């Protein structure tokens, strides 16, 4: 069994509801998104042309890439117009008001 | 015919007509004025087509796409 | 950025998009090179690598659906032709792209209606 690699990302308090933050962790561009009481972490590179999804508009659980309006579900990472295409979704845990991301075993 | 200056199939269509010595007129949509573009879009949509090129009008018929066989069939009839 | 480098970059990015959709770059290298070059020119002029064989309308919602690769937005139509409209991409099993014909949107809709596809 491989060791789980949980990496500190940010404080929960740093993200207001509906807010998105771009981070680089272990060299990977990641978008942290808070939706009411949930936090999601997805790759911050759109599968199309690698534009930063953190700069996109969030509507419900759907984030729209600022470059070409490609829409992704932040829960599954799926691209709505072709489900075969996905942005990475990172597993995440909150402990003592801190957000940690699992940097291996992404769900793809 | 309506064409795009950037589209290889439009170029092939023009060459096909030129090689057969069939006179034709064309407008490159991307080089056309806003008014002309609007008019071309209306023609495309009136034929149930998207804004896809080449859009070739032969008599009362329309062929969208590079299709020499269809061009010849219509030209012969 | 110089044109050749940008063409190469688009090729790398778009390969990752079309592969899971069952498409590949056309084996007709000449067409591929020409189309990618047009996309780089279009990107310089309009800010995005739009399809070289479809026309822009000026309406963002419509135009964004023809940014290359536009396969996700025209999937059934392109699947019926085994190629995208401009022919930059073909279905993975296609070895002879010249054998594929363009089917117009209205023809495609007619084929659907008649249950031929």
Contacts C40 to B, Cβ<8 Å: none
Q: ∠ at Cα A21 (A72, A36), nearest 5°?
A: 70
Mean pLDDT of chain A: 93
Buried/exposed A78-90: b ≥16 CB within 10 Å, e otherwise: bbeebeebbbbbb
For residue range B33-65, list pLDDT tens digits in order.
999 999 999 999 999 999 999 999 999 999 999
Mean pLDDT of chain B: 97
Å between B45 CA and nearest CA of chain C: 10
The SS3 call for residue A80 is: coil
Note the pLDDT of residue C63: 98
Q: What backbone phi and psi angles, to 5 degrees, belong to C70?
A: -95, 10
C35 vs B: CB within 8 A: yes
Which chains touch C (3+ CB pairs under 8 A)? A, B
Residue A104's pLDDT band (cuts 50, 70, 90): confident
Residue A106 has pLDDT above 50, yes or no: no
Residue C59 has pLDDT above 90, yes or no: yes
For residue A51, give the chain C residue with the closest CA: C13
Residue C34 has pLDDT above 60, yes or no: yes
Q: Does C55 contact B47 at a Cβ distance shorter than 8 Å?
A: no
Average pLDDT over residues A17-46: 96
CATH superfamily of A6-102: Rieske [2Fe-2S] iron-sulphur domain (2.102.10.10)
Q: Does C13 contact A84 at a Cβ distance shorter than 8 Å?
A: no
Residue A93 has pLDDT above 50, yes or no: yes
Q: Does C57 contact B51 at a Cβ distance shorter than 8 Å?
A: yes
**Domain membership of residue B43 as a residue range:** 2-76
Domain ranges of chain A: 6-102
Note the pLDDT of residue A2: 60
Alpha carbon distances (Å) from A98 to A7, A10, A13, A18, A34:
10, 6, 8, 18, 13
CA C11 to CA B55: how far, in whole Å?
28
Note the pLDDT of residue B77: 82
Residue A105 has pLDDT above 50, yes or no: no
Give chain B's contact residues with C (Cβ, < 8 Å). 4, 6-10, 29-30, 34, 37, 40-41, 47-53, 63-67
Mean pLDDT of chain C: 97
CATH 3.90.460.10 applies to domain C3-113: yes
How far is Cα of residue B50 from the mean position of the Cα atoms in its chain? 13
Note the pLDDT of residue C21: 98
A55 vs C: CB within 8 A: no
Which chains touch B (3+ CB pairs under 8 A)? C
Q: Does B30 contact C56 at a Cβ distance shorter than 8 Å?
A: yes
% pLDDT > 90, chain A: 90
Average pLDDT over residues A2-18: 91
C44 vs B: CB within 8 A: no
Average pLDDT over residues A16-21: 94
Note the pLDDT of residue A108: 41
Average pLDDT over residues C67-95: 98
Place of tokens 């919602």: C61
Note the pLDDT of residue A34: 96
How is residue C88 written in tokens? 């930059």
Residue A36's pLDDT band (cuts 50, 70, 90): confident
CA B72 to CA B77: how far, in whole Å?
9
Contacts A69 to C, Cβ<8 Å: 60-61, 64
The H-or-E segment that residue B68 falls in is helix B68-76
Give chain B's domain count. 1
Domain ranges of chain C: 3-113
CA A57 to CA A72: how far, in whole Å?
11
Note the pLDDT of residue C116: 86
Residue A100 has pLDDT above 80, yes or no: yes
Whichever domain contains B16, its CATH number is: 3.40.30.10
Q: Does C61 contact A69 at a Cβ distance shorter than 8 Å?
A: yes
């Amino acid at each position: 069994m491989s060791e789980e690699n949980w990496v500190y990302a940010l404080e929960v308090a740093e993200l207001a509801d509906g807010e998105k933050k771009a981070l680089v962790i272990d060299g990977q561009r990641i978008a942290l998104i808070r939706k009411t009481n949930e936090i999601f972490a997805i790759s911050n590179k759109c599968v199309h042309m690698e534009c930063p999804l953190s700069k996109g508009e969030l509507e419900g659980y759907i984030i729209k890439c600022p470059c070409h309006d490609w829409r992704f579900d932040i829960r599954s990472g799926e691209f709505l117009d072709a489900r075969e295409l996905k942005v990475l979704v990172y597993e995440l845990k909150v402990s003592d008001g801190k957000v940690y991301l699992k940097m291996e075993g992404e769900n793809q | 015919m309506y064409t795009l200056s950037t589209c290889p199939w439009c170029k092939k269509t023009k060459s096909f007509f030129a090689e057969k010595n069939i006179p034709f007129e064309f407008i490159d949509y991307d080089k056309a004025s806003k008014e002309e573009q609007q008019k071309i879009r209306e023609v495309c949509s009136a034929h149930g087509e998207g804004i896809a090129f080449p859009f070739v009008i032969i008599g009362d018929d329309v062929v969208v796409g590079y299709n020499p066989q269809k061009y010849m069939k219509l030209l012969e009839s | 950025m110089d044109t050749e480098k940008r063409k190469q970059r688009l090729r790398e990015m778009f390969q990752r998009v079309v592969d899971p959709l069952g498409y590949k770059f056309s084996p007709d290298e000449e067409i591929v090179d020409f189309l990618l070059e047009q996309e780089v020119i279009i990107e310089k002029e309009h800010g995005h690598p739009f399809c070289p064989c479809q026309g822009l309308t000026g309406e963002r919602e419509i135009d964004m659906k023809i940014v290359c690769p536009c396969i996700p937005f025209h999937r059934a139509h392109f699947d019926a032709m085994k190629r995208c409209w401009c022919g930059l991409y073909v279905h993975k099993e296609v070895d002879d792209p010249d054998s594929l014909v363009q089917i117009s949107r209205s023809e495609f809709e007619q084929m659907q209606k008649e249950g031929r596809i």
